[in-house]
Structure 1
């Protein structure tokens, strides 16, 4: 079986690769952007199965299929709400909500293997999927607070008091408006499911920032941007070059 992973978060891609290896599935290639995938598909034999993230660093992964006709079976790996995905679930092998569960992954692969050759190559209507994604339920619940343990106490941190989330020394922290930093039992990857996208944006591998905490935006080297927050000043926050376009759209 020829298997491809398209995922912009390299730690997530490596984790998925390891999980597939545990069920004896070998991944032939891992790609991380729309542009990279388009080039790859034009030069290589298309795989039997693609594990496809929807939001990549340089755009929606559906843009790949605007440029290349791909007939591979697809398992979506996404943080989008299941209600928006139900309508097109039958047009793909399956979808897996992040963080991916071992049992769900095994069942999705089993479902792919059980499909007959005649049904392996299903034409997906990506325009319809785009519309559905735009119709994700507006009443989706995001986290309103986080908790952290301080000695024998558990402290609650309201989401509107957090200026940014950041990773450091393998830990994930919340920096608050009172200048404190709290260690959280989560990762930046898992925060994707918890944070309201209109309020928080991941500007780099290391930082999620709160739009309400932005004090200044400054042009930086190599077409990047430097962000100054109202209170955070421990380290520079730089919008990575591949995220600048999406960042400008986010703040518009």
Structure 2
């Protein structure tokens, strides 16, 4: 689970990080202000969970989520409880008052995990009613006022840009899809066919045209009718080679 903490008081941030570490979770980033959090969330892949103090030095963290549509679950913490109603309107999963007690933090994390399990069970149930297949065969794309079906076999790659995820077809056409993260797409497609080469791109083995050495530790891929640069990140090169060998 990826967790980002938004807290302007450094001692409080360190304490929260320690508590999360005790629970076995790793905090990938700590942000200290509204002005820092907004561009970070716009430029980086959203975490699974954000734990945010509501009152920050330069404003309310609620302003962040009014300007950036995040894909993350939210837990708010604050010294005041009169923000609770507004916080829950943002679909937060819990609201904790300072000073945070370990038992309350544990309960909030467990609530998040239970929601994730329930969601996964719903997804599995839907897939079972669709014939028992684990992977989708087509994506529904909105084109103007029409709904178009794109077969997965016709997709050369998926990529994330800004706050949207797009697919590219064998004809080089680009379509915005409903899924809003690469992680969500990974749950839908066959891992024998698609590989996540970096944080923002997912490619099909059927349409890889060329692989070249990009640096001493990275590879560059040429994908059919996709003009953007595709680089296999350093930490995924070994797994990528194994994936190629099993297909």
Q: Deviations over 1:26-73 (max 9, x none)?
A: 9xxxxxxxxxxxxxxxxxxxx99x99xxxxxxxxxxxxxxxxxxxxxx
Q: Which has the larger radius of gyration?
A: 2
Q: Deviations over 1:131-160 (max 9, x none)?
A: xxxxxxxx6511110011111111000000
- On the 8 A contact 1:143/1:159 being kept in 2, the answer is yes
Q: Deviations over 1:107-138 (max 9, x none)?
A: xxxxxxxxxxxxxxxxxxxxxxxxxxxxxxxx
- Aligned partner of 1:227 in structure 2 is 221
SS at match of 2:47: helix
**Match runs of 1:27-38 below 5 Å:** none
- Aligned partner of 1:11 in structure 2 is 46
- Aligned partner of 1:182 in structure 2 is 175
Aligned pairs, number: 157
Do residues 209 (structure 1) and 226 (structure 2) align?
no
- On the 8 A contact 1:7/1:13 being kept in 2, the answer is no
Partner Cα distance (1:98, 1:205) in 2: 26
Give the superposition deviation at 1:19. 2.4
- On the 8 A contact 1:98/1:190 being kept in 2, the answer is no
The CA RMSD measured in Å over matched residues stands at 3.6
The structure with higher relative contact order (CA 8 Å, sep 6+) is 1
The partner residue of 1:195 within 175, 178, 189 is 189
Partner Cα distance (2:179, 2:158) in 1: 11
Partner Cα distance (1:240, 1:247) in 2: 10
TM-score between the two structures when normalised by the length of structure 2: 0.53
Give the superposition deviation at 1:179. 1.1
Do residues 243 (structure 1) and 236 (structure 2) align?
yes
Partner Cα distance (1:7, 1:140) in 2: 35
SS at match of 2:156: strand
Worse-matched range after superposition: 7-16 or 176-185: 7-16
Q: Which runs of 5+ in 1 are unaligned?
A: 27-46, 52-73, 78-92, 102-138
> In 2 relative to 1, CA 216–97 (structure 1 residues): closer, same or farther, beyond 3 Å?
farther
- On the 8 A contact 2:20/2:26 being kept in 1, the answer is no
Partner Cα distance (1:158, 1:214) in 2: 18
